[in-house]
Amino acid sequence: MSSFLQRLGDFLSGPVPTPAGPASAAPPSPTPDRPTGMTADDPRLPKQSRPQVERLLALVGEIEGRAARDPLLASALTEVRQMRDVHLPQLVASYADIPPAHRADIFRKTGRSASYVLNEGVEKMIARAEALSRSLAQEDIDSFADNLKFIETRYGGRDPLG
């Protein structure tokens, strides 16, 4: 049964295809630790966006690590891989496609700079990844609490003769 679940998890969490788009939408070359997607040092990113992108990528890696141990986490894995491999690169590409001379148009329309709006988008993805991480951690916390209750019931506080 577990081999079936493993295969199902592997199938559901397979690579997410990246849609074709403009040349600037192409993510950096694949690496062994990040098959597709972004890096925090992508030259299209403004410097103030790099810490947020680094945080998002770290959260994705953390969730991927948990999902590797539990094939039932395939939906969370698929979602964070889409963030990293599709949504984040598309957001950065759409920012980079705006000619610098016209980024002021964003400020005139929104009252915020294009880089600020970019950061808001990345922060929303971070918030979702953090919510997924908390949800996954809560399952681990609940399991630990259940095990502690069992140990207390089984071995704690009872008089074995009594």
Across the 162 residues of the chain, what is the mean pLDDT of every consecutive 10-residue run?
A: 53 49 43 59 94 96 86 84 94 93 89 94 96 86 89 76 52
Q: Is 10 exposed, middle or buried (0-12, 13-18, 19+ CB in 10 A)?
A: exposed
SS3 sequence of 138-153: HHHHHHHHHHHHHHHH
Buried b (16+ CB within 10 A) or exposed e, 122-151: beebbebbeebbeebeeeeeeeeeeeeeee
Rounded to whole angstroms, how far apart are CA atoms 125 and 3?
32
Both structure tokens of 34: 């990040």
What CA–CA distance (Å, rounded) separates 76 from 134?
12
Tokens for 45, please give them.
């990113």
Tell me the two tokens of residue 90.
Answer: 């598309």
In one letter, which amino acid is 8?
L
Angle at Cα 118 formed by Cα 117 and Cα 120, nearest 5°? 65
pLDDT of residue 14: 54
Of 63, 135, 124, 61, nearest in space to 91 by CA? 124
Q: What is the pLDDT of residue 32?
A: 38
What sign for the dihedral angle of Cα 51, 79, 59, 16?
negative
What 3-state class would DSSP assign to 133?
helix
Q: What integer pLDDT is reported at residue 128 of this predicted model?
A: 96
> 3-class SS at 13?
coil
